[in-house]
Amino acid sequence: MSSILKSKIKMLKVKNLHASVGDKAILKGLNIEVKAGEIHAVMGPNGSGKSTLSAVLAGRDEYEVTAGEVDYLGKELLELNPEERSWEGMFLAFQYPVEIPGVSNINFLKTAINERRKYFEQDPIAAKDFLKMVKEKSALVELSDKLKNRSVNVGFSGGEKKRNEIFQMAMLEPKLSILDETDSGLDIDALRIVAHGVNTLKSKDNATIVITHYQRLLDYIIPDFVHVLYDGRIIKTGGKELALELEEKGYDWLTKEEA
């Protein structure tokens, strides 16, 4: 076991991360380390900084990092703009996927894949290969042809939007995926489909951070580590059983300790 652990690639190392929106400090010294092949769950009550963590990692403008470092595969993540982070293999599944009228789902993915290929000085993807990939990956989350060709997320139901996020994740083949509250607004069937997609995409070479409020999703996507985020810091880390404990006892017993 230990020899396997040693051979794992360090993917993400967040050290003493502080971030704020406007004058309001939200992350206050957050530490987390993720290696290839692992699934990490970040749980916490509302307002603890979960969405800020995903936004900062993805490179959203409105968040200002005031202290700390983030090492991603040997690179200083915070120096990269959002598209460079994507090209380097990072993926964020949005809690609220954005609707983009007039931009077709398929064209947008083709553009995305080709921009990354350009970054790595590769030729654009052949139409045949692209279509084959679309067919294979959309089957994974049972996304219909109709939805694939429609404008990005326009007229999609809540569940369809989340399945579309995982479809995009499958197409972009990320190294590190961050799922931000992917379970919110999902019924049990959609949840199963989404979880099946994520589990199928899991390999020893990639890693996933699942950000969630509830334990429910973790019945389907089994985490190796569970972190509790509270007031901008990780206050407890444990195995998958910690999620069950939180489900049973809530967050109070931990946050009171903290206070």
Partner 1 sequence: MVVLKENNLLNSLSQMGVGLGAKNQAFELLKGLEFPTRKTEDWRYTSVNKILKKKYIQFNEAEKVGLSNEIVPSLDAYNIVLVNGVYSKELSDLNFPDEIVVDTFPKALEEHVSLIHNTFNGIAKNNEEVFTALNTSYFHEGVFIHIPKKVKLEKSIHVIHVNTKSNVVSNVRLLIVADEFSEVGVVQSFASVNAMECLTNSVTEVFVKENAKVVIDKVQSEEPKNNLICTVQVNQKANSTFKINTATVSGDFVRNGVNIDVDGENCTSEMNGLYMQKGIQHVDNHTKISHLKPNCTSFELYKGVLSDKSTGVFNGKVIVAVDAQKIEAYQQNKNILLSREATMNAKPELEIFADDVKCSHGTTTGQFDEEAIFYLQTRGISKESAKKLLIEAFADEVIDKVDSEELRIWIKEKLD
| Residues binding partner 1 (CB under 8 A) | 58-61, 81-83, 85-87, 91-92, 94, 97-98, 100-103, 108-109, 111-113, 115-116, 119, 151, 168, 172
Radius of gyration for the alpha carbons in the chain, expressed in angstroms and rounded: 18
**Least distance in angstroms from the C-beta of 84 to partner 1:** 9
**Least distance in angstroms from the C-beta of 129 to partner 1:** 17
**Least distance in angstroms from the C-beta of 189 to partner 1:** 26
For tokens 């919110």, the residue is 184
**Least distance in angstroms from the C-beta of 111 to partner 1:** 6
Task: Give the torsion sign (CA, 1, 198, 208, 242).
Answer: negative
Q: Which is nearer to partner 1, 172 or 193 (CB)?
A: 172
Q: Hey, what amino acid is at 29?
A: G
C-alpha closest to that of 215 among 247, 185, 242, 187: 247
For residues 254 and 259, give the distance between their C-alpha atoms in angstroms, rounded to a whole number.
Answer: 9
Label each residue of 157-172 as H, E or C: CHHHHHHHHHHHHHHH
69-73: which pairs have CB atoms within 8 A and are 24 or more residues apart? 69/13, 69/14, 69/15, 69/16, 69/17, 70/12, 70/13, 70/14, 70/15, 70/17, 71/10, 71/12, 71/13, 71/15, 72/11, 72/12, 72/13, 72/176, 73/9, 73/10, 73/11, 73/12, 73/175
**Least distance in angstroms from the C-beta of 87 to partner 1:** 5
Q: Which is nearer to partner 1, 61 or 252 (CB)?
A: 61
Q: Which is nearer to partner 1, 99 or 189 (CB)?
A: 99
Q: Which is nearer to partner 1, 74 or 101 (CB)?
A: 101
Q: Which is nearer to partner 1, 63 or 251 (CB)?
A: 63
**Least distance in angstroms from the C-beta of 46 to partner 1:** 21
